[in-house]
Amino acid sequence: MDLFEFQGKRLFYEAGIPTPHSWVAADVDEAIEIGAAQGMPLAVKAQVLSGGRGKSGVVVIVRDNAQFVSVAEQLFWLTVNGRRAEHLLIERAVDVAREFYLAITLDRTARRPVLLFSAHGGVDIEHLARDDPAAMVRLPVDPLAGLDQAQIDRVVEEAGKAQPLPEAAQQMLARVVVNLARLYHDYEATLVEINPLALTTDGELLALDAKVTLDDNALPRHLELEELRTFANVRERRAHLAGVTYVSLDGEIGVIGNGAGLVMSVLDLIEAGGGNAGDFCDVGGGARAGAVRSAIDIVLADEHVKALLVSIFGGITRGDEVARGVLEGLEASDRVVPVVVRLAGTDAEEGRKLLAASGRTGLTVVESLEEAVTCVVAAAGGGS
């Protein structure tokens, strides 16, 4: 579960990680009221669950009230990767002397957390990590013992290599590292990131941004965090309640599958075949008819979807259950689009027979994934 910046900073503040003074506005009128009360300069940030906001023009420093009103109105209408802001984060602007990068994330290869630090933070951190790997310090963290003092000292040492760091700033940086690691552990996160972690001209160390990703599987142990869950649209909310995984994309082909790897492979094949996926829904292993029916309903609720591909490989998932779910979902839907179904594995033959016997117009049943992709790309493009 990804958190908005203002939500992540709330957790940072509670964990003892300093952040700028800030306010959250849910509409333009509230934003204007905050701006008039607080005075300038202020940083205005559209709250969108997307990376690269700094380069997308949705983070703006404003220096007078007239500019503030104009920026607030614009940011509530701008979109980033198809998503509009539902809130604005308004912060007291600060003068930055230096920017650092600090994060803890899960290294799936090493099967343990890793602390990442660079003495150069900011919007170009991805390019820095790619072009100059030595500029990014990577310190594996023992999942049981946590950070040790040597690792904390290493971060402080790296921060002062290019330019000496005052003693007070060294102590603040060490505390931030410790508190960020504690937050990562206590909330069972998969990512906590500060970019930039800024040293101001006044000598303060402040987290100017916050990116926090929580492990969905751990949320039952942290019920207080459930209220932070947000959804990009109504379909994502419905998918969560139905127990399936749904992701909105920007194409015209809906995809339903089982297993993230299999679904991603299907998306790649669709793109290679000249199509574009509009969304995908992962019903998971062992899905019964009800889950498939819900997935059909959710995907077809997206009016941009012109054709639907259902590709299921049955292990513990039974083909006849999938077929029943497909037929029930299509029968209940008020939308009629071409549907291609590919079933393989357990009881796939029984499932294909059920689908063929339905005689449903616009329903194509195939055995190979390649044929399924060819058919659905053609259907989405207006072909037969």
Residue in this structure with the two tokens 């992701």, named with its chain if needed: 247
φ, ψ for residue 147, nearest 5 deg: -65, 145
- Burial letters 15-48, b for 16+ CB under 10 A, else e: bebebbebbbbeebebbbebbeeeeeebbbbbbb
- Burial letters 115-147, b for 16+ CB under 10 A, else e: bbbbbbbbeebeebbeeeeebbbebebeeeeeb
Report the distance separating Cα 365 and Cα 340, nearest Å: 6
Verify whether residue 101 is a known catalytic residue. Answer: yes
* Amino acid in the structure at residue 268: D
Give first-to-last CA distance, the chain, whole Å: 40
Catalytic residue from among 5, 91, 101, 158 = 101
Report the distance separating Cα 374 and Cα 275, nearest Å: 9
Catalytic residue from among 91, 99, 193, 236 = 193
Task: Identify the CA nearest to 137 among candidates 160, 114, 118.
Answer: 118
Q: Is 160 left (phi over 0), alpha (psi -120 to 50) or beta?
A: alpha
Q: Which residues contact 273 (CB under 8 A, 6 or more apart)?
A: 373, 374, 377
Verify whether residue 157 is a known catalytic residue. Answer: no
| Active site members | 101, 193
